[in-house]
């Protein structure tokens, strides 16, 4: 990397833990976590005009149309808070989005440094999604099996009730995996061909995966760029 800036894309199938890992990484790297899913969910929960427009796509596990997604994420990516970088989670999900991101950054002489692709077998992910709970206020993620909250149904951090995402139901999960395989998997090749793809084993504990991610970032920072 040319300077202290750091621009990371976190990738991986639904339920792989991108949001949780991104939150942990922001504490170490001191750059904002930009999650397209969180941006959309906030609008959806607050019933903003945008929220009403995207509700159908989100609950059915479909992609929100490109023009809406690209404009909302680019606003965050190009904001002053993200001047020194970002950890992007949930975006890009298509080649069109990746190209839009590259173009917007290039105009500012910036670029994505690398993509960390967290992988876990699909069967494990389906189980994880079925037991996932989310805080309706701060969006912290829990899992009733592997990472339960201290008080049942309440967020450890802000005591707000937890809920299950509409799109973690069986039908929407199936659709989300189809969409991931069709639209998002090609991104592995996109970033791989730029020499920017690093695969991370996501099957261990939350902290183990966090360590893998930190190690990968530290290898890159010391110019040990993997082939
Ligand atoms: P996530 O929290 O990343 O799993 O995203 C939840 C939902 O938000 C997705 O299933 C989509 O409906 C929508 N969404 C999030 N990010 C994108 C994106 N980059 N492109 C299109 N739709 C998105």
Confidence class for position 146, pLDDT limits 50, 70, 90: confident
Contacts of 187 (CB under 8 A, 6+ apart): 11, 92, 93, 94, 95, 98, 115
Close Cβ partners of 188 (under 8 Å, ≥ 6 residues apart) = 11, 117, 197
What separation in Å is there between the alpha carbon of 108 and the centre of ligand 1?
26
Q: 14-53: per-residue pLDDT in tens?
A: 999 999 999 999 989 999 999 999 999 999 889 999 999 9
Question: What's the token pair of residue 217?
Answer: 């970032």
Distance CA 29, CA 54 (A): 31
Its pTM stands at 0.89
**Integer Cα distance of 173 and 164 in angstroms:** 13
Domains with residue ranges and CATH for the chain: 6-224 (3.40.50.300)
**Which residues line ligand 1 at a C-beta cut-off of 6 Å?**
14, 36-37, 40, 57-58, 61-64, 69, 90-91, 93, 97, 167, 176
Minimal-distance CA residue to ligand 1 atom 5? 37
**pLDDT tens digits, one per residue of 156-206:** 999 999 999 888 988 999 999 999 999 999 999 999 999 999 999 999 999
At 3, the pLDDT band (50, 70, 90 cuts) reads low
At 168 the three-state DSSP class reads: helix
Task: Answer yes or no: is pLDDT of 148 > 80.
Answer: yes
Tens of pLDDT along 91-104?
Answer: 999 999 999 999 99
Separation CA 95–CA 103 (nearest Å): 12
pLDDT band at 227 (very low <50, low <70, confident <90, very high): very low
Helix, strand counts (H, E) of the chain: 9, 8
| 185 assigned to active site | no
Write down the catalytic residue from 7, 18, 128, 196.
18
Report the atom number in ligand 1 closest to the C-alpha of 176: 10
Does residue 1 surpass a pLDDT of 60?
no
């Amino acid at each position: 990397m040319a300077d202290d800036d750091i621009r990371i894309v976190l990738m991986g199938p639904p339920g792989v833990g991108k949001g949780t890992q991104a939150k942990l990484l922001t504490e170490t790297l001191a750059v904002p976590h930009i999650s397209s899913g969180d941006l959309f969910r906030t609008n959806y929960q607050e019933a903003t005009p945008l929220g009403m427009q995207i509700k159908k796509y989100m609950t059915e596990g479909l992609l929100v149309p490109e023009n809406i997604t690209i404009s909302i994420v680019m606003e965050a990516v190009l904001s002053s808070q993200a001047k020194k970088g970002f950890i992007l989670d949930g975006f890009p999900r298509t080649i069109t989005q990746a190209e839009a991101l590259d173009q917007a950054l290039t105009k500012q002489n910036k670029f994505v440094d690398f993509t960390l692709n967290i992988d876990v077998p699909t069967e494990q992910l389906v189980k994880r999604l079925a037991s996932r709970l989310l805080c309706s206020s701060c969006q912290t993620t829990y899992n009733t099996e592997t990472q339960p909250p201290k008080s049942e149904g309440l967020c450890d951090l802000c005591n707000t009730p937890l809920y299950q995402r509409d799109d973690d139901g069986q039908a929407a999960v199936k659709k989300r995996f189809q969409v991931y395989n069709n639209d998002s998997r090609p991104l592995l090749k996109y970033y791989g061909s730029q020499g920017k793809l690093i695969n991370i084993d996501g099957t261990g504990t939350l902290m183990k995966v966090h360590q893998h991610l930190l190690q990968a970032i530290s290898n890159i920072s010391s110019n040990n760029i993997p082939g």
